[in-house]
Homo-oligomer: A and B are copies of this chain.
Amino acid sequence: MSLKLYYDALSQPSRALLIFLQSSNIPFTRCVVNLGKGEHLTEEYKNEVSRFQKVPVIVHGDFRLTESVGILRYLCREYTVPDHFYPKDSKLQARVDEYLEWQHNNIRMFCALYFQKKWLLPKITGEPASEKTIAEYEHRMIDGIDNFERCWLQSGSFIAGDNLSAADIWAACELEQPRIAGYDAAEGRPILSRWLSRVRDELNPHYEEAHTFLNKLVHLNRKAKSAKL
């Protein structure tokens, strides 16, 4: 049965699924949806891909599914996937699930909102957010990342123990996002920094490939900032 992934490499859960699919050797067709050009907002996309008009989406045969964490679980049932990504052992799987549920309102929301307010919305509207607004969102994100490091990285090499799991992929992709807006979560956080290096190492070359465009943007933004100084 054919599998299509609709994604944009600037969407965190899109990158997580992209890396997961490649690392699991699941064959799929890439369907790039350029969010910047509003390709997800067309009637065609709404009717034929997703009524939620977001990415990522999979279409497996004629079955359409949204929500990256739900997609991950579905793929683990439908394909043979390396067990460490989403262990069959009930308690280990529960620990991965615990993180994947926790992250929505603790990591994803804060990193995404900071990125949107500081970088994305000014690009769209042409108006930068006030320094006060950015400082507020940055403060909340910093609290969230500190909390992540304290709650999830204190024992074991990875989030759910000694093996890399989907929890690490989803977490790392979220934590890369604020770099576009100039905030590096690994800076000044040695525990997080070492964990992120392990995640990147385990998932390469797919991790770097999924982050090519993001890294290019980070580089361009740094260059533009230096030119202004």
Chain A residues with CB under 8 Å of chain B are: 51-52, 63, 65-71, 73-74, 77-78, 90-91, 93-94, 97-98, 100-102, 104-105, 108-109, 151
Contact = CB atoms under 8 A, between A and B. Distances in A.
Q: DSSP class of A's interface residues: helix, strand, loop or mixed?
A: helix
Q: How many copies does the complex hold?
A: 2
Contacts of A78: 90
Given A70-B98, A91-B63, A98-B65, A51 B104 contact: no
A67 B98 contact: yes
Contacts of A71: 94
Contacts of A51: 151
A71 to B, nearest CB: 8
5 contacts: A51-B151, A65-B94, A70-B101, A104-B104, A105-B108
A50 B101 CA distance: 15
Nearest to A63: B91
B69 A97 contact: yes
A71 B97 CA distance: 9
B70 A97 contact: yes
A94 B73 CA distance: 8
Given A52-B151, A70-B94, 13 more contacts: A51-B151, A65-B98, A66-B98, A69-B101, A70-B100, A70-B101, A74-B97, A77-B90, A104-B105, A105-B105, A105-B108, A105-B109, A109-B109
